[in-house]
């Protein structure tokens, strides 16, 4: 089946002033850093002529490709960038990919491998056209490159590459899977979480997992999509009631509210943390709740 990319190329604006180069994306730490196009190295003034190609990815078993990045060149170097490759202290965050492609969440390992291959192609290339040809020669990676045609219907480049999640299209089950995958990555690789063990919970409630901390206590992981507008006091009361009715002495609680946008975790009560879907905020809350 031929990939239908051409029509997508008509939607974007070349007025964006900043873009992360791939080698300069160290982490996903705060809501401001989610807007990857507002940080990092500046594109040259002639951004239309310099921003040569958009990168598209098509998950395996899917006919719905999506633009995920850009590749361009200046006078001396070739650069590429994607908002879907985020790291925290070297730990790859699967959550941006899983929310961008909710129907292909388990394809994120292939996606990560595809980005590794793409990076090697860019390292060896001197022009975006060479990268485009490499993608055509090895279509099994699911990556394609197409020339950037500029704006046609008013959407800018940030809206293309960093669309806000359509929560009506992302099921709560998909969010559960994405959050668990992110916590699992942190538990395996974050130095401050060594000795913890994640146990998924599949009981149809808001609880999605339990983090055993060296056999001493548990951190209960909850995703509550209907509590985003509640006050901090109300959430603290709800969390304490949950632990009183469903927990044992010493239990702690991490409440994930997907619609929030936080710079740091909220701590409305002792041993209770509230976070959004930011990888850095999630990590800091897990570390804090895992301390004695």
Of the chain, the percentage scoring pLDDT greater than 90 comes to: 32
Task: Evaluate if residue 1 carries a pLDDT over 50.
Answer: no
Asked whether 175 and 223 are in contact (CB, 8 A), the reply is yes
The domain in which residue 75 lies consists of 6-161
In a domain, 167, yes or no: no
The answer to whether 84 and 99 are in contact (CB under 8 A) is: no
Q: How far is Cα 72 from Cα 86, in angstroms, rounded to an integer?
A: 20
Largest CA-CA distance found in the chain, in angstroms, rounded: 64
Please count the structural domains in the chain. Answer: 2
Domain boundary among 127, 161, 195: 161
CA atoms within 13 A on the CB side of 27: 14
Helix, strand, coil tally for the chain in percent (to 5): 40, 20, 40
Q: State whether 24 and 97 are in the same domain.
A: yes
- The verdict on residue 166 lying in a domain is no
Assigned domain for 106 exists: yes
The per-residue pLDDT for range 232-243, each reduced to its tens digit, is 778 888 888 888
Query: At 255, which CATH number?
Result: 3.40.1350
Q: Are residues 39 and 80 in the same domain?
A: yes
Residue 50 inside a domain? The answer is yes
Q: Within a domain: residue 79? A: yes
185 and 99 in a single domain? The answer is no
Task: Convert the pLDDT of each residue in 99-152 to its tens digit.
Answer: 888 888 888 889 999 999 999 999 888 888 999 999 999 999 999 998 877 665
Cβ neighbours of residue 142 closer than 8 Å, sequence gap 6 or more = 57, 58, 59, 60, 110, 111, 114
């Amino acid at each position: 089946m031929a990939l239908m990319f051409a029509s997508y190329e008509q939607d974007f604006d070349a007025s964006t002033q900043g873009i992360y180069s791939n080698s300069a994306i160290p982490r996903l730490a705060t809501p401001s850093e989610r807007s990857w196009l507002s940080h990092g190295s500046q594109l040259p003034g002639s951004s239309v002529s310099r921003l040569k190609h958009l990168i598209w990815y098509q998950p395996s078993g899917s006919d719905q490709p999506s633009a995920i990045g850009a590749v361009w060149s200046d006078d001396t170097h070739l650069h590429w960038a994607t908002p879907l490759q985020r790291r925290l202290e070297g730990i790859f965050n699967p959550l941006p990919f899983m929310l961008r492609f909710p129907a292909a969440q388990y394809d994120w390992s292939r996606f990560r491998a595809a980005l590794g291959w793409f990076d090697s192609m860019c390292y060896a290339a001197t022009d975006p056209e060479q990268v485009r040809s490499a993608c055509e020669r090895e279509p099994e990676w699911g990556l394609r490159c197409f020339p950037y045609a500029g704006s046609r219907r008013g959407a800018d480049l940030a809206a293309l590459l960093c669309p806000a999640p359509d929560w009506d299209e992302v099921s709560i089950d998909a969010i559960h899977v994405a959050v668990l995958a992110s916590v699992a990555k942190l538990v395996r690789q974050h130095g401050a979480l060594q000795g913890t063990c994640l146990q998924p919970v599949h009981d149809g409630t808001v609880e999605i997992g339990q983090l055993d901390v060296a056999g001493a206590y548990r951190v209960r992981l909850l995703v509550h999509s209907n509590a985003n507008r509640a006050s901090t006091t109300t959430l603290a009361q709800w969390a304490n009631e949950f632990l009183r009715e469903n927990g044992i002495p010493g239990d702690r609680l991490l409440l994930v509210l997907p619609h929030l946008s936080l710079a740091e975790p909220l701590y409305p009560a002792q041993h209770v943390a509230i976070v959004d879907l930011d990888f850095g905020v999630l990590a800091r809350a897990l570390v804090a709740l895992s301390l004695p």
